[in-house]
Every structure is written in structure tokens, then in C-alpha cells.
Structure 1
Amino acid sequence: MQIRQANQSDYPELRNIFLSSRQQYFHWADQDSMTLEDFDKQTADEYIILAEDDGRILGFSSLYLPDDFIHLLFVHPEVSGQGVGKELLSASIEKMNRPARLKCVSENHKALKFYEKNGWKKVVEEEKDGEKYWVMEY
């Protein structure tokens, strides 16, 4: 598996991974409002790294470097649980200063467990637009 910076030619597949992952795992969200274009809106001005194997993109992480903040980390549903997320998380941490931060939706129990298992600590639970999330630090 290789980790590298994403480029524009990767965006079609990154959009698909972002959409399919959210549709499969975000049971609390409105599925009908999710679109491929959400990726571009949510990653504007961010540094994006991806994991690939034999030319196939397996997942990505989107970082807002001025705040040492992991905004998004998504793995293709077909390779979930195979270490891709851990590799992306490690590469993301290497790119940032400490403390690094992220927010995780409180309903996303699988992701919260993943982050805690990889050394992240819950700092405070906040709420925005009726959705609760944990601010976490590394």
C-alpha cells in the first residue's frame, strides 16, 4: 500500500469513495441529500492524501493544515477493516503539528472506537445544527 498526495485526476474516485462510504455507514444522515459534489465542497483548501494499492484508490484523508485538523478520513467500504484507515491516520499525523485534532460524530461509534484505539482522546462533546460530535486530540 502506498500513501501519496492526491491530485485532480484522483478526484472522480475520491468522490465515489466519499459518497458510497457515507451512504453505507452514516445511518443518522439524510441519504437523499448526499451527492458526489459534496466531496469538492467539503475538501476545498485542504491537503488530501490517499492510500492506493496496485493503482486502486482505497481511501483518503483530508487535512486542514493551518489548524492541524483532520477534516475527513474515509475508506472504501470494500476494504474496511484491512488497515487502510490506520495507515491514512498515521500519515495524517505525520503531516501535522501536535496537538492534532479532529471531530467525530457522536453517533459514529465505529469511528470513535477506531480513533481511541489509535491513541486519540475525547476532549469535549459539542453540538452543531442538532448533531453531536466529539472533539478529539492526538
Structure 2
Amino acid sequence: MDYLYKSDHTLLRYAEEKDTALILEFIRGLAEYEHLLDRVEATAENLKTYIFQEHKAEAIIAEYDGVPAGFALYFCNFSTFRGRPGIYIEDLFVKPELRGKGLGKALLSCLAFLVKEKNYARLEWACLNWNKPSIAFYKAQGGQPLTEWTTFRVTGDELTELASRIGKL
């Protein structure tokens, strides 16, 4: 099978190495929508390395009438409480001119199918608090916001400082 899902207009398929530039285009499109384009450091080369050579993430490409329309980039996480892996969606993006055609629903449903097929525990993702259209979309698909959790991140100089402490223990 060359595809994960196919309907009259929509086709979902696993990304291949030849899609690297397309994935970067979608990442930039998402970053522009989120007003974060200046933060994109990804290059085609590091995407190729980490997605297709080291398999640190996977991607699904959505096509509409044969035209690349969006993608989902995801990786496995693990629930210690459930004792099973899950899938974390890093990015889910559909080009603005192709929204409302069911592509986002198809991508999310396809990932849910993969979770169930692999007997994983859950499907999760993050959404910017101001992004009301996406929050409404995710809630309509059965997503529940986790208001009792706060996400933390360490990058840049703080990451360097934190890492340097291991030599001081």
C-alpha cells in the first residue's frame, strides 16, 4: 500500500526523504501562522538527518487532489503510568487555502488509528493558548486540554548552564 488513507480528494502517506524540502516548507508555514517564523532554525539537512536517517520523528503528508496540502510530524513518547508508548504530535499543519476540507481531521484520525493499531496509550500535542480556532478544532475531535499540567522547556544559555552542572556534582 502506497498510502495510509485515501478518499475522493484526500490522500495521506508517510513522508519520504524526497519530501524534506516540503516538510521544511510546512514547518515555516506553521511558524508563520503562529507568528514564530523568526524562531525557525530547522534546515533541510537536519530534518533529513533526524527524520529519515536517525528516525527520531516521522511525518505524514496530506495531499488534496494530488497537491501537497499539509502534514503531521510526530514521535513516540512514553507513559510510565500506563506502561506503554504514545504518540506526541509536534506539528500538524494544513495550508490556509486548503483548510476546511477535512485534511486536519484526516491527519488527526490517522494518528489516532496508528496509536490504536500499535496498542499505544495515548495521542497528545500542545497548542498555543491564543490559537482559539485550533483549540476549537481539537476539542471537536475529542481532544481535552490538560489544565493541570505546565510544560517546561530549557534551551540556549540556560540549557548550556544546566548541562555544565553535571561536572560539578
| TM-score relative to the length of structure 1 | 0.77
For structure 1, which runs of at least 5 residues remain unmatched after alignment?
Answer: 130-138
> Are 1:69 and 1:100, in contact at CA under 8 Å, matched by a contact in 2?
yes
Question: What residue in structure 2 maps to residue 98 of structure 1?
Answer: 121
**1:118 matches 2:141:** yes
Equivalent-residue separation in structure 1 for 2:11 and 2:139 (angstroms): 24
Is the Cα contact below 8 Å between 1:61 and 1:73 reproduced in 2? yes
Instruction: Name structure 2 gaps, 5 residues minimum.
Output: 1-9, 77-84, 154-169
CA contact (8 A) 1:17 1:74 kept: yes
The 3-state SS of whatever aligns with 1:89 is helix
CA deviations over 1:37-74 (Å, ceiling 9, x no partner): 28829966112111113431111111213432122111
Note the alpha carbon deviations across 1:68-109, whole angstroms, 9 max, x for none.
Answer: 212211111221222111110100111112322112121222
The structure 1 segments of at least 4 consecutive aligned residues displaced by more than 4 Å after TM superposition are 41-44
CA RMSD of aligned residues (A): 2.6
When residues 107 and 86 of structure 1 are mapped into structure 2, their CA distance, relative to the original with a 3 A threshold, is same
Tell me the matched-pair count: 127
Larger RCO of the pair (alpha carbons < 8 Å, separation 6+)? 1
- TM-score, with normalisation over the residues of structure 2? 0.64
1:16 pairs with 3, 10, 25, which one? 25
Which digits, 9 at most, give the CA deviation of each residue in 1:5-48, with x for residues without a partner? 1101112122112212321x213x3x333356288299661121
Equivalence map 1:1-138=2 (5 Å): 1-23=10-32, 25-27=33-35, 29=36, 31-34=37-40, 37=43, 40=47, 45-65=56-76, 66-96=85-115, 97-124=120-147, 125-128=149-152
The structure with more radius of gyration: 2
Q: Give the 3-state SS of the residue equivalent to 1:2 in structure 2.
A: strand
- Aligned residues: percent identity? 25
